[in-house]
Structures are given as structure tokens and as C-alpha cells.
Structure 1
Amino acid sequence: MDPYIAVLTGVGLLILLVAWLPMLLREMPLSLPIVCVGIGFLVFRFLAPAGGEPPHPLRFPELTERLTELVVIVSLMGCGLKLDRPIGLRAWRVTWRLLAVTMPLCIIALAVMGWAMAGLGVAAAVLLAASLAPTDPVLAADVQVGPPQSGEEDEVRFGLTSEAGLNDGLAFPFTNLAIALALHGAAVGEWTWEWLGYDVAWKLGAGLAAGWGIGAVLGWLTFHLPNRAKLSKTGDGFLALGMTFLAYGLTEMVHGYGFIAVFVAAVAFRHAERNHRFHERLHDFAEQMERLLMMVVLVLFGGALAHGLLDALTWPAAVCGLLFLIVVRPLATWVGLLGTGRPLEEVMALGFFGIRGVGTLYYLAYALGEAEWAQAELVWAMAGFVVLVSVLVHGTTVTPALRRLDGRRGSASPAAREMAE
């Protein structure tokens, strides 16, 4: 069979699945990511041609990095566009706590566990922790707020959406710390001050400033030009993709964190004209692109699982990963939200549904290309194991858990009511 025809057939089937599967799975204890990973595992295990190169990230590091990078930035744009709540200290209080307290606690705890339990070196343990700590904006779609102006913005969904939008970028300084440790060792030296000044202060500041500036300018051009020239009248969802690439590219050119810039640009764009219906079209386009790209990544991830991604996993490493998901993240969330007055059920949901996913794969692919890592296979195996468990456990529990939470609040969201009917 002509490989080109086979690829076209496979892409066509994948696009149809993107459109149909979310509706078919709505009432089932399954999620789209579970199905994608399963398809990838079966296809590459039993149907892939003999002699072909399996999609292992250590064999295709650059492709892994670029493909996961693309998925994450498109997802971050969607996250920012769907948030109705204006940014503020009090309105986003749960978000700030998750970022300032919960995430650093997760990184510290997982780094110590990776070093003490799994036998990782210091640099590798920090890298693993930095890559697994952020809530993934891609796979967490089922626990995020609904489309713009849909009213699906309770505190749990809002907290997880806004956290996912920002903490993927905030994991970058810790990833760069792991790279610096791999290159220079653990002893404090000149590299320490360079990391603090450049990787932390400059890159974070540049990402925030560039993202807000780009989003504000594009928002003004879209909504506030003279009436006949208003870009919002085009109704073209491609603007979401253009804004994503522009914010990411320009910020990376000035050596800022592009992940932060993309999310902040989307938030600033909403701020320019919060209630315009054009936001719905932009969000829908970004969501469709994200879903298609996510399926490609997860099918390849399933293929990697079928061809040895977890071969280096040890029992201590597996226990370390499970403890992180079921103990460390929930406990760190509880500590982070002390004093906020949120009900225990909400705190438990925010802690449990801090999902790991495509962002984790990106950070590992990026960092492993920047230095020599003697334990690269073990790091990939641990991260792959945690992502797999997250896909399976969170994917099968999210619908009943959020439905139960909505019922306890006494005012289910529109999405929950629709699922319950």
C-alpha cells in the first residue's frame, strides 16, 4: 500500500474521531485521551509495518518537543479566551494560591522523592518535578470552564483553568534550573545568579509584559477600530491561531517565556471587549485545533508505550509517581488553600484533578535536548507512567466527580445539567 494513501486515510479517520468521539463518550466512563492512547497502543503494537521506527521520544526528541509545544500554546490560547472573570487579586485568589504555594510545594516534594526513592540524581529529580508539577492545559479540558459567556465558571473549574494557563509557563524557571544543575553541578556559583536574574526575573517579566501588550493591541485593533474596519466583523476564527503564534514568537524573540505570553495575551484580548460574541468563535476554533493536535500527540504517546517507554520504570519509581498523584498534589493543594474559606469538597477536587499531560512531555523533550542526562530513560519512564495513570484515573472519574460536586452545591452548571438529562 502506498504510505501516502495510508497516511491520508489515517488522518481522515482521526479528524472524524475528533468530531464524533466527545459526543459518543459523554455518558461513558471514558475520555477522549483514554481512547487516543488506546488507539495508538493498538495501532503501533499490532498494525505498524515491521521495520518502522516506533514513536519513542528518545528516538525523535526534536519532533516530540515541537509537536507538544504546538499543542500546549494552542491550548493556552483557548484557556485564556474562555475565562469570563476579570483578573484581580481577590477574584483570582485561588489561582494565586495554587501558583505561589501549591506548585512550589509539589516541585520540592517530588524532587526529594525522585532523589530519595527512585534513585534519580539531583538535576534529574528537579527536572522530573518541574515537568510533572504543572496542571496540564491540554488534558484538563474536561475540568475547565465552558466556552466564553456560558456561565460554567464555578470555583473548581475556574481554578483549574486559570492555574493550567499560568503554571505551564511558571514551570520553565525550574526546568531551566534542572538544566543548569546538569551542566554546572549543585554548587552555588555564577550560574546561580544568572538563573535568578535571567531565567526567573527577566523571562517571567518579559512573558507577562509582552503577552499583555500584544493581547491589548490586538484587542484594540479587533474591537475598537472604526466600525467599517473592525476585524471582529470578519468572524474568522483563524485570528486565534494568528494571535497564538504572534504572542509566542515575539516573546521568544525577546527571550521571554512564550507560554506565559500566550495565555496572558488571551486574557488581555478578552479584557479589551469582554462580552463580544466574537470570543466564542475564536475559542471554538482554538478548541478544535487543540483537540486535533492532542489526538495526534496521544496516539503517538500510545505508540511509545507499546514500544518500551516504560521499560526503565522501577517499582520505587512507580510508587513515587503514584504518591505524587494521590498524596502530594492533594495535600499541597490543601496547604495552599488554607484560609481561603473554600469548602473541603472543592479543595479535594482542585487537588485531585491537577492533571499531568502534554506539557510534561514538552518540558522533558526540551530539557533533555539541552544537556547530557545519564538517567534520561528512567525520567521518561516515570513521567510517562504518571501521565498514563493521570489519563486513566482522571479520565474515568472526572464526569461523576464534577456532577456530584455540582449537585452538592445545589446549582449544577449548564454542562452538568446537560449530562444529567
Structure 2
Amino acid sequence: MAGAGPVVFAAAGVATLAAALLPRVLSRAPISMPMVFLAAGALTFTVVEPLPDPNPVTHSSIVLRLTELCVIISLMGAGLALNRPVGWRRWSTTWRLLGITMPLSMLAVALLGWTVLGFGAAGAVLLAAALAPTDPVLATEVQVAEPVEDPEDDSDDEARFALTSEAGLNDGLAFPFTYLAIALATTPGDWLPHWLAVDVVWRLAAGLLVGLGAGWLLRKLFFNAPSKTFRLAHHAEGFVALAATFLAYGVAELAHGYGFVAVFVCACTIRAGERTSGYHRVLHQYVEQVERLLTVLIIFLLGGAVATGLFAGVQWREVVVALLVLLVVRPFAGLIGLARGRTGPRERVVVSFFGVRGVGSVFYVAYALEAGHFLEAGAVWRVVGLAVVGSIVLHGITATPVMRFLDRKREVLTSP
């Protein structure tokens, strides 16, 4: 066998082994797995030639499908990991992040895009929508680890729970504003009635209803099928989590609903059934492994894109906006949203700071640019790329020591 094929297979083997080992090797170090693969991608595409161009600007359709797959699998994992039953009071921190922090963040980012970068309305709204969601893919170091079998165990600390549940829902809630940006770019006239009726009300409702329906049917099949042959929990087949993910997402999209919302709601609905079953952990572990492989591929390619010209022509204003999003906009919007909530002062600061930007942001830009023409497309890619790379480095360095500090303080407060 000749050509680049053997090299690609060998590299894939090394990357897969690294994806299995690195989370354990780096568990106590201020370095995250995405940081390693970002650097590996940049180094590989700098040293090894010739390699395909990984720039997302020129391969937006491939980027769109890869990131779409990664996000929906991550959303399934996030929903299955949550041990706390859904409720208004139990999830009050989540509702604050979605209802206050996210709108404030979007408004601030849109204003930055308009005033600092000189974007038009469509470009500013797209930038805001892309940088609004907390990413469910790259935030694993600060999220809930896995489902537990004890129904009385509510051991999820408020910071991890808030970041996991927020990431699960706000990826879907950013979609209406992505459609708003597309409408402003393509039909600047009479867009408001259609946007409100279809892109906000119908798509959200359809995503929610499909997620509830699919989750209810699947949990019946998993745990309560009349025959053990069809009771999938009895066979402990982990790959069924992919069936749940694709089914919820596909049906929601066919109904013109938000598939991201459907997948997360489906996962939470499945998790609500038979909370004492160990099958939830089996499903979650399988999803986590698939998600890790996809994350490795996407971040490796992102590193390659950085090395081969993603930031070509970057301006100082774009760097400033990306830094403001990470260091000012999200932290202050988070503190405002969580003020007087159930989080303590330490948890409030941690949740506000770790608004990780990542694969979801890349997806929204790719989606919008496939659907409409934006004059600021290159600048949007650069700012979002800067924010994502900055988030990988900043949050990757700080996640482990900060969460360990929070855990130690929590242990001291709860110890007799």
C-alpha cells in the first residue's frame, strides 16, 4: 500500500490511544486534552506536507456536519449525566443562566460587533448567536461526571450542575438568533412574523415535544418492554445511546424543530426513568467515548486551520472583542444572572467564568454561512476562532485547579 493512507491510519491509531490515556494522565495537571490536540494539529499541519487544507472557511459543509454530529452526541451525554430531577426550584440556577445571562451576553456581543468591529445588523447578530452558548463538548472538565444509581444521591455540586444543564439547553436556544441573523442577511424586509411564529415558537415547541415523546418511548423500551428480548437495559448495549440521539434529532429536524433541544430533552427524559438502573451509566460511557473521538478530530483540525491561515488578516479589534467575550462579557453577565440565587459566592464566580466557547460556536457560524450571505463572514470566522482557541487555552489551564479548589472547600463545609 502506497501513499498517505498508512500514515493516516497510524496517526489515527496514535490519536485514539492518546484520547483514551490523556484524560487520566492529565487529570491533575493544568492542561486539558483539547489543548494537547490543538497544539498537535498546529504542529502537524506546520511540519508535515502535503496535507489537505483544514480551513473551515473553504470547507464549511464538512465543518458543519462534523460539528453537528459532535454537538448532538455531547448533548445526549450531558442529559444522561444529570442526576438532579428537572424542576423549577431545583434548576433555578439553570433558568437564571438561560433567562438572564444568555440574553445579556448576546446583547453585549452584538453591540461589540456593531460598534467595535463595524458589523452590520446581520453580522452582529450572528456573532452574538455563535458566541452565546456554553459549549457542551469542551466543558467536560467542569461538568457533571456521570449518572449515579442512588436516587437519593444529589451529589452534583451547583457549579458542575449549572454548567452542564446550561450547556445542554442554550445550544438549542441560540438557534432562533442564528435564524434571525440569516433572515436579516437574506430577507431584510418582512421577516419578523415568520421569525416569531416559526423560528421561535414552532421550532422550540417541536424540539421540546419530540424530545419528550422520543425519551418517553425509549425509556419504556429500555426498562419496561414486556419481553426481555426487547428490554434493552437487560442487555446493557451502550451503542443504543446513538440510536436515541439520532432518532430524536432526526425526527425533530423533519418536523422543522430544533434537534439540539430534542436530543437534550430526550436524554433528560430517559434519565428520569428507572433512576436506580446502571444502564444510564452504560449509555453515558458509550456516548462519552464517541464524543471524545469526535472532539479529538475537530480540535486537531482546528489547530491545523490556525497553523494554515485561519487568522490571516486578523485585526487588533477582533482580538480585543474575543478577549472581552471571554474575560468580561460572560463573567459579568453570569454574575448578574446568578445574583441572589442558590449559588454561593465561589460557585457563582466559577460558573460565570467557565462559559466555555467551542464546537457549538463553530457549528453556528458554519450553519449560517451555508444558509445566507454575510459580508462579514471572514471577520466572524476570525473572532469566533480566536474566542474558541482562547477558551481552550484559558479554561483548559484553569479548569483543573479551580474545580479541585472548589471541591476542597465543599468537603470542608460538608465534613462533620
Q: CA deviation at 1:411?
A: 4.9
User: Whole-Å Cα distance in 1 between the matches of residues 309 and 91 of structure 2?
Assistant: 42
Q: 1:167 to 1:412 in 2, by over 3 A?
A: farther
User: Whole-Å Cα distance in 2 between the matches of residues 352 and 119 of structure 1?
Assistant: 27
Segment of structure 1 superposing worse, 80-89 or 121-130: 121-130
User: Whole-Å Cα distance in 2 between the matches of residues 320 and 140 of structure 1?
Assistant: 21
User: Which among 166, 181, 198 is matched to residue 178 of structure 1?
Assistant: 181
Q: CA deviation at 1:115?
A: 1.0
Tell me, yes or no, if the aligned pair for 2:96 and 2:338 is still in contact at 8 Å.
yes
Cα-to-partner distance string for 1:352-401 (whole Å, 9 max, x where unaligned): 00100000000000000111122211110000000011000100001111
Matching residue's letter, 1:77? M
Partner of 1:371: 372
User: Whole-Å Cα distance in 2 between the matches of residues 275 and 114 of structure 1?
Assistant: 48
Task: Return 5+ residue gaps in structure 2 as ranges.
Answer: none
User: Whole-Å Cα distance in 1 between the matches of residues 127 and 49 of structure 2?
Assistant: 31
Q: CA deviation at 1:339?
A: 2.4
Partner of 1:315: 316
Aligned residues: percent identity? Answer: 48
Cα-to-partner distance string for 1:247-304 (whole Å, 9 max, x where unaligned): 0001100000000000000000011212210011100000000000000000000000
Aligned length: 408
Matching residue's letter, 2:274? E
Q: CA deviation at 1:27?
A: 2.3
Q: CA deviation at 1:313?
A: 2.0
User: Whole-Å Cα distance in 2 between the matches of residues 260 and 356 of structure 1?
Assistant: 18
Q: CA deviation at 1:338?
A: 2.1
Q: 1:146 to 1:205 in 2, by over 3 A?
A: same
User: Whole-Å Cα distance in 1 between the matches of residues 17 and 257 of structure 2?
Assistant: 37
User: Whole-Å Cα distance in 2 between the matches of residues 306 and 121 of structure 1?
Assistant: 29
Partner of 1:117: 116
User: Whole-Å Cα distance in 1 between the matches of residues 269 and 76 of structure 2?
Assistant: 11
Matching residue's letter, 2:58? R
Cα-to-partner distance string for 1:38-80 (whole Å, 9 max, x where unaligned): 010000111131xx43100111110000000000000000000
Q: CA deviation at 1:327?
A: 1.0
Partner of 2:190: 190
Matching residue's letter, 2:323? L
Cα-to-partner distance string for 1:4-42 (whole Å, 9 max, x where unaligned): 212211111111111111111122221000001001000
Partner of 2:171: 168
User: Whole-Å Cα distance in 1 between the matches of residues 238 and 302 of structure 2?
Assistant: 29
Segment of structure 1 superposing worse, 308-317 or 391-400: 308-317
Q: 1:341 to 1:234 in 2, by over 3 A?
A: closer
Q: CA deviation at 1:228?
A: 2.4
Root-mean-square deviation (CA, aligned residues, Å) is: 1.4
Matching residue's letter, 1:204? L
Cα-to-partner distance string for 1:285-326 (whole Å, 9 max, x where unaligned): 000000000000000000000011111321111111111111
**1:12-51 correspondence runs (5 A):** 12-49=13-50
User: Whole-Å Cα distance in 2 between the matches of residues 340 and 120 of structure 1?
Assistant: 35
User: Whole-Å Cα distance in 2 between the matches of residues 406 and 328 of structure 1?
Assistant: 26
Partner of 2:144: 145
Partner of 1:217: 217
Partner of 1:226: 226
User: Whole-Å Cα distance in 1 between the matches of residues 200 and 392 of structure 2?
Assistant: 31
Q: Say whether residues 1:7 and 2:12 are aligned partners.
A: no
User: Whole-Å Cα distance in 1 between the matches of residues 106 and 276 of structure 2?
Assistant: 37
User: Which among 155, 158, 162 is matched to residue 155 of structure 1?
Assistant: 158
User: Whole-Å Cα distance in 1 between the matches of residues 19 and 321 of structure 2?
Assistant: 34
**1:19-418 correspondence runs (5 A):** 19-49=20-50, 52-149=51-148, 153-185=156-188, 189-226=189-226, 228-229=228-229, 230-411=231-412
Q: CA deviation at 1:227?
A: 5.3
TM-score by length of 1: 0.95
Q: 1:168 to 1:337 in 2, by over 3 A?
A: same
User: Whole-Å Cα distance in 2 between the matches of residues 209 and 312 of structure 1?
Assistant: 45
Tell me, yes or no, if the aligned pair for 2:210 and 2:262 is still in contact at 8 Å.
yes
Matching residue's letter, 1:312? G
User: Whole-Å Cα distance in 2 between the matches of residues 384 and 226 of structure 1?
Assistant: 51
Query: 1:272 aligns to what SS in structure 2?
Result: coil
User: Whole-Å Cα distance in 1 between the matches of residues 121 and 313 of structure 2?
Assistant: 18
Tell me, yes or no, if the aligned pair for 1:215 and 1:266 is still in contact at 8 Å.
yes
Q: CA deviation at 1:138?
A: 0.1
Q: CA deviation at 1:340?
A: 1.2
Tell me, yes or no, if the aligned pair for 1:403 and 1:412 is still in contact at 8 Å.
no
Tell me, yes or no, if the aligned pair for 2:93 and 2:342 is still in contact at 8 Å.
no
Query: 2:139 aligns to what SS in structure 1?
Result: helix
Matching residue's letter, 1:164? A
Query: 1:410 aligns to what SS in structure 2?
Result: helix
Query: 1:275 aligns to what SS in structure 2?
Result: coil
Query: 1:90 aligns to what SS in structure 2?
Result: coil
Query: 2:271 aligns to what SS in structure 1?
Result: helix
Task: Return 5+ residue gaps in structure 1 as ranges.
Answer: 414-421
TM-score by length of 2: 0.96
